[in-house]
A and B are shown apart, each in its own frame.
Chain A
Amino acid sequence: MPGPSDVHGTSDVHGPIDPDIEPAEFEGADGESLGAGLPTLPRFSIHIAMVVFAGGLAGGLARYLLGRAWPTPLRGFPWSTFAVNVTGSFALGLLIILVVEVLAHRTHVGPARYLRPALGTGFLGAFTTFSALTLSTDQLIAHGHLVLGLAYLVASVAAGLLAAIAGLRCGRLLGRRWPGSHGVPGSDGVGG
């Protein structure tokens, strides 16, 4: 059966294609398949772009205000960016599991189909940042703080990945208790 209803039937391998892209607008039977049960990506949608803009507005503002409230001392550990990236990774893991696996049957129609682009691509995508991580690391190293720079880089990546795993597991735990959930596939999860 072509179309969205079989997209989620095979979504236990849901990840490698950009997880932030709205999964509701897949092409029909003539769409190219990427293989391994992966759906074809949706087309650009102006409505999705508008909710991404709205989410990005709030996410960017939140990151800026947090950075102002918690400024990094010169050549210090950028705690504000670290915290933003780790909490954002947790929240995205949780959001994707809830939207893709738990609410999947409700995300084809109505406002629920905008949840992931608004909160995932828009808010969390703009809230978290990669460029500040690479630039700050470069600057710390260039100014002779090699250990601090590498510690910042490694800690951000390790904590970010662990936070995403924690978010995914929390989502699946919640999913098992979710009333009306269609079941949570692939809950054997990362690392067991």
Chain B
Amino acid sequence: MITALLVAIAAAVGAVCRYALDLAIQRRHRGVFPLGTTTINVVGSLILGIVTGLAARHGLNARAAVVAGVGFCGGFTTFSTWTWETLALAEARANRLALLNVIGSLGLGLAAAAAGLAMTN
């Protein structure tokens, strides 16, 4: 019960961080590529890798790991915005950017999560 509440609060904090960071990045970045969401998803994947590694190998408290991982990282990163932005690029006939958004986010996200796990080895 308390864990659920803490997860919800951490997810809400993650969502507000995403709103603020995405706005900050997109305002400074010219062009149509959704660099804000890419950055958020890659950074969130790295943090989740670190949290998971700390829980598995360094005795991070299980509740703290769930709140930080499922709550914060889950609320911070987003799948729906990413699929929508990919679709929007394709609709604007920016097919190469749409493909880059898929391949780039997945490649960097997978690498970031693996790096987070490796850092705690």
Instruction: Tell me the A residues contacting B by CB distance below 8 Å.
Output: 13-21, 34, 36, 38, 41-44, 48-49, 52-61, 63-65, 67, 84-85, 88-89, 91-93, 96, 117, 120-122, 124-135, 137-139, 142, 153, 156-157, 160-161, 163-165, 168, 186, 189-190
Contact = CB atoms under 8 A, between A and B. Distances in A.
Contacts of B84: 15, 19-20, 89, 92-93, 96, 164
B10 A60 contact: yes
Give the most central of A17, A55, A157: most B CB within 10 Å. Answer: A17
B4 A64 contact: yes
Interface residues of B, number: 67
Interface of B: 4, 7-16, 18-20, 22-24, 26-27, 30-34, 36-37, 41, 44-45, 47-49, 52, 69-71, 73-92, 94, 97, 102, 105-106, 109-110, 112-114, 117
Contact of B11 (A36, A56, A139, A164): A56
Main secondary structure of the interface of B (DSSP, over half): helix
Contacts, number: 244
B92 A61 contact: no
Give the most central of A16, A36, A117: most B CB within 10 Å. Answer: A16
A57 B9 contact: yes
Nearest to A153: B106
B15 A125 contact: yes
A14 B88 contact: yes
Contact of A135 (B11, B30, B83, B113): B113
Main secondary structure of the interface of A (DSSP, over half): helix
